[in-house]
Amino acid sequence: MDLAEINYNEALKIYQEINYEPGFAPAYNSLAKIYYAKKEYAKAISYYKLAEQYSLKSNNKYHLITNYNSLATCYKELKEFETAKAYSEKSIVISKEVGSVERELFCHETMADILFSMGDYKNAYASFQNYASLKDTLFNQDKNDAIAEMQAKFDVEKNQQKVKEIELQKKIDDEANTKQQLLLIVVIVVILISLVFTILLFRNKQKVNSLLEQKNAAIQANLEQKEVMMSEIHHRVKNNLQMVSSILDLQARDLTDEKSMRVIEDSLSRINAISLIHQRLYQSDNIRGIKINTYLQELAFDILKNFSSSVTTTPIQLTCKVADLNMDLESAIPIGLITAELITNACKYAFLSIEKPEITITLNKQQDALVLIVTDNGVGKQASINASGTSFGTKLIKSLSRKLRADITEDTSEKGTSIQLKINSFKLYDI
pLDDT tens for each residue of 260-289: 666 676 666 667 667 666 665 555 556 667
Tell me how crowded residue 119 is: count the other CB atoms within 10 A of its CB. 8
The most distant pair of C-alpha atoms in the chain lies apart, rounded to whole Å, by 162
Residue 147 has pLDDT above 70, yes or no: no
Tell me how crowded residue 50 is: count the other CB atoms within 10 A of its CB. 19
Any bridge partners for residue 407, and if so which? Answer: 422
Any bridge partners for residue 369, and if so which? Answer: 366
Count the domains in the chain.
2
Closest by alpha carbon to 373, among 381, 385, 382, 364? 364
Q: Are 306 and 344 in contact (CB under 8 A)?
A: no
Closest by alpha carbon to 352, among 306, 305, 307? 307
Query: pLDDT by residue (tens digit) across 381-402?
Result: 544 454 444 478 888 899 999 9
Helix or strand holding residue 322 (H, E): strand 317-322
Residue 209 lies in a domain: no
CATH number at residue 86: 1.25.40.10
Domain limits for position 91? 3-168
Residues 163 and 260 in one domain: no
Query: What is the structure's pLDDT at 7?
Result: 80
Entry pTM: 0.43
Query: What is the structure's pLDDT at 250?
Result: 60
How far is it, in rounded angstroms, from Cα 371 to Cα 423? Answer: 6
Query: Could you tell me which residue, 282 or 163, shows the higher pLDDT?
Result: 163
Residues 7 and 102 in one domain: yes
Residues 134 and 14 in one domain: yes
Query: What is the structure's pLDDT at 234?
Result: 45
Q: Is 167 helix (H, G, I), strand (E, B) or coil?
A: helix
Query: pLDDT by residue (tens digit) across 369-381?
Result: 999 999 998 876 5
How far is it, in rounded angstroms, from Cα 186 to Cα 182? Answer: 6
Residues 159 and 264 in one domain: no
Total H helices, total E strands in the chain: 12, 7
Of 168, 199, 233, the domain-final residue: 168
DSSP string of 336-393, one letter each residue: HHHHHHHHHHHHHHT-TT-SS-EEEEEEEEETTEEEEEEEE-S-S-PPPSSS---SHH
Residue 120 has pLDDT above 70, yes or no: yes
* For helices 329-349 and 258-283, angle between their N-to-C axes, nearest 10 degrees: 140
Of 168, 183, 214, the domain-final residue: 168
Residue 55 lies in a domain: yes
